[in-house]
Structure 1
Amino acid sequence: MIRVPADLNELCDAFAVNNEEIEHYLDIETGKVIMWMDPIATGIRDEELDDELENGFGERYFHLPKIESREAYQLMVEFTEALTFSSLRDRLEAALSGRKPFRAFKDVLYDFPEEREQWFTFERNAHRRQVLQWLELNHIILDSL
């Protein structure tokens, strides 16, 4: 097992970034989460970072997974199905079956602050479980900061 002084919340935040142009890596020596951005998208190439990540990949730098769109969508479905407030559940189901379901889902929840906070907690807990599973698969133990 590898002991790493990393912040679980920071790892969860990186996991939640579903952007093809952004990748995150965990530096197991420092515990820092490193963000790499596609130079084609940014117009800027950080050759030093590219070399460092390439040379230490799998030894010092571990590529962090990110939530896939289908997984994020499934979380919204699970949250919606668990709701007892039928009016909100109906509105969220309609949002999820329409155009731009991610935006529509958030727009509906905006009018329900209590349930919106429940969603954030539900989503954060799901991300936490997935990150903890990834850490276990890679034999990484987080040291408390």
Structure 2
Amino acid sequence: MLDPGRVDLAALADALDDRSPETHWYLDPVSGAVAGHSDDDKPPADWLEIDSVTSRESYRDMADFTAGVQHRRAASLLDRAIDGRGAFRRFKNTLFEFPEVRDQWYRFRDARSRRRAVDWLAGTGLITEADAEQLRARHPDPDPSNDDVPAAVAADLAALYGPRLRQVLLFGPWASGEGTVESAIDLLVVLDDHATTILPWEELRAMDDVLWQHTERTGLTISVLPVGQHELARPGDPTVIRARAEAVRLR
């Protein structure tokens, strides 16, 4: 048996993903080394040839990833991109419009590729199934959720307002754990109103860049209601009353 720790899974994954006809990839069953050879440069006879994965498997990765994308516009465009001939090229081009989603794809693709590398090792009998299970568990599909977005927005608002910011309260579907890409992130932003009256439209203009950056990054709608401390203490607005009842404090 080959010691799994001696195998460079990234190198093996790259070899499995390489469908170029010029290079044939091999693995040394003793050392775990992975090397490419041309037709004129054969490896030692006991090395195992690494057959590349099919385009069908690569397409399945794209489809599975697209199904989990939570950026609404990116998900819609990617879904169209992978339909029909030229899917791989269109998928790649579409990702370049969404850097955050592109980074998620790289992490997703790497996890899938490494698990396939583990499957290949187990399929050749070089490692035990028990070792394979442990290795697969180290490379799960990354979580595509946007659960961290409300906290990230709150952190940026804290940087924007400094000591004027008293609280950021999350309410609505995202506070109850039922938030989806179709529902807005509802935030009640509580500001110090001892020295100045809170004018909601002015505050919304002040927050505009922060909110837009997060919307552009995630595709999620972020709805903010700025209020003063006094209004929060004695609310008259039904939205503020509901927000107080449902609130999850972020800051």
Superposition TM-score tier, normalisation by shorter sequence: 0.7 to 0.9
Residues paired across the two proteins, number: 127
- Residue equivalent to 1:25: 26
| Greater fraction of residues in helix | 1
2:92 corresponds to 1:106 = yes
Q: Distance in 1 between matches of 2:85 and 2:76?
A: 16
Aligned structure 1 segments of 4 or more residues deviating by more than 3 angstroms: none
How far, CA to CA, are the matches of 1:130 and 1:99 in structure 2?
A: 25
Query: Which letter maps to 2:30?
Result: E
Deviations 1:40-98 (A, max 9, x none): xxxxx33xx2xx44xx2xxx311223221111011101100111222111111111114
- Specify every segment of 5 or more residues in structure 1 that has no aligned partner in the other structure, as ranges: 39-44
Q: CA deviation at 1:116?
A: 0.4
Displacement, 1:103?
1.0
CA contact (8 A) 2:61 2:109 kept: yes
Distance in 1 (alpha carbons) for counterparts of 2:64 and 2:117:
19
Distance 2:67 2:24 in 1: 31
**Contact (CA 8 Å) 2:2, 2:30: kept in 1 or not?**
no
Partner in structure 2 of residue 78 of structure 1: 64
| Corresponding residue for residue 3 of structure 1 | 3
CA distance in 1, matches of 2:18, 2:77: 26
Larger Rg: 2
How far off is 1:19 after superposition?
Answer: 2.5
**Equivalences for 1:29-108 in 2 at 5 Å?**
29-38=30-39, 45-46=40-41, 49=42, 52-53=43-44, 56=45, 60-108=46-94
Distance 1:78 1:131 in 2: 18
**Structure-2 separation of matches of 1:99 and 1:80:** 17
One of 95, 119, 122 as aligned partner of 1:133? 119
Percent identical residues: 33
Larger relative contact order (Cα-Cα within 8 Å, sequence gap ≥ 6): 1
Query: In structure 2, what residue type is equivalent to 1:35?
Result: G
1-structure distance, mates of 2:84, 2:107: 24
* RMSD of equivalent CA atoms: 2.0
Unaligned runs of 5+ in 2: 132-251
Deviations 1:95-119 (A, max 9, x none): 1114411111011001111110110
Letter in 2 for 1:2: L
Residues in 1 aligned to 2:96 and 2:38: alpha-carbon distance in whole angstroms = 30
Helix, strand or coil for the counterpart of 2:88? helix
Secondary structure of 1:120 counterpart? helix
Amino acid at match of 2:16: F
Corresponding residue SS for 1:34: strand
Under a length normalisation based on structure 2, what TM-score does the superposition of the two structures give?
0.46
